[in-house]
Amino acid sequence: MVWQSLRNKVFTRRKSFLIYNHLRPMSEFHFKKINEALWEIEPTGRMRVPARIYATEKMLSSIQSDNAPQQATNVAQLPGIVKASLAMPDIHWGYGFPIGGVAAFDLKEGVVSPGGVGYDINCGVRLLASKLNIDDIRPRLRSLIEDLFKRVPTGVGSAGALSVSREELKKVSQQGARWAVSQGYGVESDLEYIEENGEIAGFDTSQVSDRAWLRGLEQLGTLGSGNHFLEIGYVAEIFDAVAARAMGLFLNQTTIIIHCGSRGFGYQVCDDSLGKMERAARKYHIELPDRQLACAPIESDEGQAYLGAMRCAINYAFANRQVIAHHARLGFEKVLGTDRRDIGLRTIYEVAHNIAKIETHVVDGVERPLCVHRKGATRAFAPGSAEIPAAYREIGQPVLIPGDMGRYSYVLTGTSQAMMDTFGSCCHGAGRAMSREKALRAAKGRDIAREMADRGIVVRGQSRKTLDEELSEAYKDVTSVVDTCSIAGISNKVAKLVPIGCIKG
């Protein structure tokens, strides 16, 4: 077929996007309204399950203008997929899976796909909260941002706050945040408040390439580039007093959000796997609607090899954020001239965004182990779940939703509805509304740092271009995304955080 011939010649994400838009216009999809916050594309052709998109009617038009709904229907064609291909309200076009995509696969019949995890394996968010009122910070804010900018390197390929030997790096990939704490980067109590306690099992260091080890040697403790950031803010509004109290959040409290992932190490693990997965798909006669969905049966040698390497990258990211959190604490101590016990920066929680995990979920009334892919989506487990810290079991798992650098972020909790409908998943952020190229055009002739300063927000980036690409209007308003999840019942709002200082990768 001409279509297949064209697809086989496509190697870049951009070209793939253009061909799909040309050959499958969004008008071909019928979006059936399920409720005020959920739409469904019923199975047609090779779709094994429906594609379900969480969005309000107002949001749907912008979602339809992107290629992401096509990608959601593509995911619905993969072997062993269970219930539905899901997309959160921050959905936008990504590599293979849409960003904001969630899909669960049967362990016997299903597949694992690197495109369902992404290049930045275990990109995630940590929230820390202090004992301090925001007014305690404002007089020293610019000095604090400058100090943190020096302590936490940013940018593409940035060398890290520490470098390790290859043998030590293997320990990092096995022990995650626990390795960092054992080296003095943080405290033992941090580990209780990290997804998987900051250390996922099932890693296989033999599946990690020399190139990946090399790239990971000097990037621990770094933000990297793109939309990664370290942000100082405060609790501006509380919606659920009980949940906020359980987390130790109070009005005007100073907070830190850290958003980053597994850096070049995770990128290389993903990149190394793609060719292997394409060959595996041919070997196991898996028909792919898009070669970016290259995959292998979960129980195959290739599937297990990817999972083993991916878990090494997951642990690297846990360690990376742990080191950054430690350096943030040191920065606060130095600039404020106050003992760390008086500052009291505690880890409230840390969640992963780009991950594939074996979890047990109830499907049609029966508990089943599944491989849940979350690509630009957050775990949102319900009250009572054994996987979340004991301190939060009555309120549900904290869910951290960062917005853009000029507006606000949110703290949510997971719900029983999420467990039933989305495999315990929720959105992960605002989602881009502009490409980076369009953002640069929108920022032309403007001084974004000055605009932010005029709004009382001190920003620092590796370059002016970084700030231009990350201007606020490049993102959807995260409130609309969070409200959609709330209407759908897959999360509850707890608190709104407002930034006053931000370091961008």
For 360, residues 6+ apart whose C-beta sits below 8 A from its C-beta are 367, 368, 369, 370
CB burial of 339-374 (b: ≥16 within 10 Å; e: otherwise) equals eeeebbbbbbbbbbbbbbbebebeeeeeeeebbbbb
Structure tokens at 366: 């029966």
Residue 348 in contact with residue 337, Cβ under 8 Å? no
Angstrom distance (rounded) from CA 85 to CA 289 = 14
Least Cα distance to 161 among 85, 77, 217 occurs for 217
Structure tokens at 185: 């980067």
Structure tokens at 167: 């043998």
Structure tokens at 497: 């955080």
Query: For residue 21, how far is the Cα from the chain centroid?
Result: 26
Structure tokens at 322: 């742990």
Angstrom distance (rounded) from CA 205 to CA 109 = 26
Indicate if 22 belongs to the active site: no
For 75, residues 6+ apart whose C-beta sits below 8 A from its C-beta are 51, 81, 85, 96, 97, 98, 101, 103, 116, 293
Least Cα distance to 295 among 21, 85, 77, 101 occurs for 77
In three-state secondary structure terms, 494 is strand
Q: What are phi and psi of 472, to 5 degrees?
A: -55, -45
Least Cα distance to 225 among 257, 256, 258, 263 occurs for 263
Angstrom distance (rounded) from CA 123 to CA 263 = 9
Angstrom distance (rounded) from CA 227 to CA 308 = 27
- The DSSP secondary structure of 366-380, one letter per residue, reads EEEEEEEEEES-EE-
Active-site residue, from 92, 326, 361, 428:
428
- Known catalytic residues are 428
